[in-house]
Structure 1
């Protein structure tokens, strides 16, 4: 939140999605108070009707504060409106009106927007207010009672609104947690720059594939690829261009590989691809197609165009061998290609 003093009890990192949810709840609450205005006019309770006019005004102000990212002001306006409105509604027409349900809405909001200690303190205050109203209405009669049937209708209306809002909060929580889980999962398995699988995920997926392969052997080929003279690209054109090269090359990899293949950034400018159900000859054809496509690629940089080439080493996996052994063999093929002048495909037999 903007504009909060250093010692504020409110969380600076409260999720933006929560404030968006608060804006929607603000709109809903304002609409509910508009409905209450007409309900209490119909029930011949003008004081309660005009209380809802003030409430709608406060929700409009809170909504505008949210729009201006003055979230603390908006939250305090909503707090004030609900606390006062609940108290007045309960005292005027009775505990059975169900206005006290709205106080429960603050419990999750407190713990989302505030530091834990402050949230617990205010939750205790909220409980005291709630219990105090309940006890008070045991000893006094409503100041402006309405017919019992109308009172039941108001109770059901309030219960329905709060039920809907709690359901909305639960849905928001599930969606937020799911998004966070997916985001963390993606961060843990993909390379942040290229979007390809990272080294750890490549090893994990390949080990699973090898376990199936060892039970039911098929052709399986590993392809290790390295961008030629990548350090010179960084030195001559800058690391920003180097990052663009890595990103562009990675996109081409993804477009040229089959759906059942998977490829990841193995480290720096080096990439590893695993091709199931592919023999050495088929892999060599794929590697040549990739090499030619990369060679034809050009990236704009200042007043020049940057071109890159690719050296590729391929090998076929041998049943029951360690993954590291197969990768070392692909690395040997890659080294032979580099030694022979780069921009070429070399294969080493299993």
Structure 2
């Protein structure tokens, strides 16, 4: 694992896709509501209840307008208007044809779905639920005390059709509520997992370079030593330090120093194999773990890397900044722990500094 890890999660594409999906769902819902009210309109037309015919005609127009409004993503407005329209239709229909036609169940299915909808204010869905519950209770008391405006005894078949339609709506409303709950739980779980992964990256990586930090590298080294003891597979450590890094900061500024450090890390990551691990050990020191690598091979790799860095110019703000590095190599022995191994590589690197820098030395 040598790739530089991003310090910030990039989810723009997924968010855009989810937003488009939500818009499509709302548009289809508005169109479906318009269709249902078209059926209501036809039934009430056959029953000769012209007030309800006019009310459902208005509802059809409202939902078609809301479907068009989805293009501008007025989600909260559409949900609020839908809730108020359903309650108004239920109230008007129960007053005209009486209790037991099934519109009370339509309101109940709406109340079951309400907490899962997204409004601008968190209290809105709960206030709407309370309003819906009070409406149902009021309409029940009204139906017990006052006879409906229209007598439906001679319209039994149409009343049964209306009841069955409302039962189907109630059934699918409950199912849809369960689907919304499941989707909400899955989204919450996904967000939690993404946040945990992001926090884990923050805990394991260096914010400037995106490389592993010292804590994470220490764990990798402990695992590598354990693996070496079990299998005999050799590995090497390389401590890499930028020569005269303070001079770069003094000459070009600390922003340039940060840029050079990041570009150096990118160059190292591109040069090494996928199995190798790169870490910012501290300051301008970069620690490399060369997995399954003998000392002779490690020296060849680090010398090639040193030359690649020496011949790679870094351009910052129009200025060409050339750097060199000194690298110290140590090989894992059966008796060594993490600190011993890192200290050996560190001593080798400082020996190279004393020898004139821009070189590879071995302990």
8 Å CA contact 1:310–1:344 kept in 2: the answer is yes
Q: Determine the structure 2 residue equivalent to 1:195.
A: 210
Paired with 2:241 and 2:361, the residues of 1 have a C-alpha distance of 12
- 2:298 equivalent to 1:283: yes
8 Å CA contact 1:90–1:97 kept in 2: the answer is no
SS in 2 for 1:308: coil
Taking a change above 3 Å as real, the CA distance of residues 24 and 237 of structure 1, as seen in their structure-2 partners, is same
Q: Determine the structure 2 residue equivalent to 1:258.
A: 273
Q: Determine the structure 2 residue equivalent to 1:50.
A: 58
Paired with 2:31 and 2:217, the residues of 1 have a C-alpha distance of 58
Deviations 1:133-186 (A, max 9, x none): 443354355889662222223223434544444444334333322322222222
Deviations 1:255-294 (A, max 9, x none): 2222221111111111111122222111111110110111
Deviations 1:171-208 (A, max 9, x none): 43333223222222222212222221111111112112
- 2:332 equivalent to 1:332: no
- 2:36 equivalent to 1:28: no
Could you list the runs of 4 or more consecutive aligned residues of structure 1 that deviate by over 4 angstroms after TM superposition?
15-24, 58-63, 121-124, 140-146
Q: Whose Rg is larger?
A: 2
Determine which structure has greater relative contact order: mean sequence separation of CA pairs < 8 Å that are 6+ residues apart, divided by chain length: 2
8 Å CA contact 2:107–2:132 kept in 1: the answer is no
Please give the TM-score of this superposition, normalised by the length of structure 2.
Answer: 0.76
SS in 2 for 1:98: helix
Taking a change above 3 Å as real, the CA distance of residues 27 and 190 of structure 1, as seen in their structure-2 partners, is same
Alignment of 1:65-144 (within 5 A): 75=76, 77-78=77-78, 80-91=80-91, 92=93, 94-95=102-103, 97-108=105-116, 119=122, 125-141=127-143
The alignment of Structure 1 onto Structure 2 pairs a total of residues equal to 320
Q: Determine the structure 2 residue equivalent to 1:204.
A: 219
Paired with 1:28 and 1:272, the residues of 2 have a C-alpha distance of 51
Q: Which runs of 5+ in 2 are unaligned?
A: 1-10, 45-52, 94-100, 151-158
8 Å CA contact 2:217–2:279 kept in 1: the answer is yes
Q: Which runs of 5+ in 1 are unaligned?
A: 1-14, 67-73
More deviation in 292-301 or 316-325?
316-325
Deviations 1:237-257 (A, max 9, x none): 222222221121111211222
8 Å CA contact 2:234–2:332 kept in 1: the answer is yes
Alignment of 1:166-315 (within 5 A): 166-315=181-330
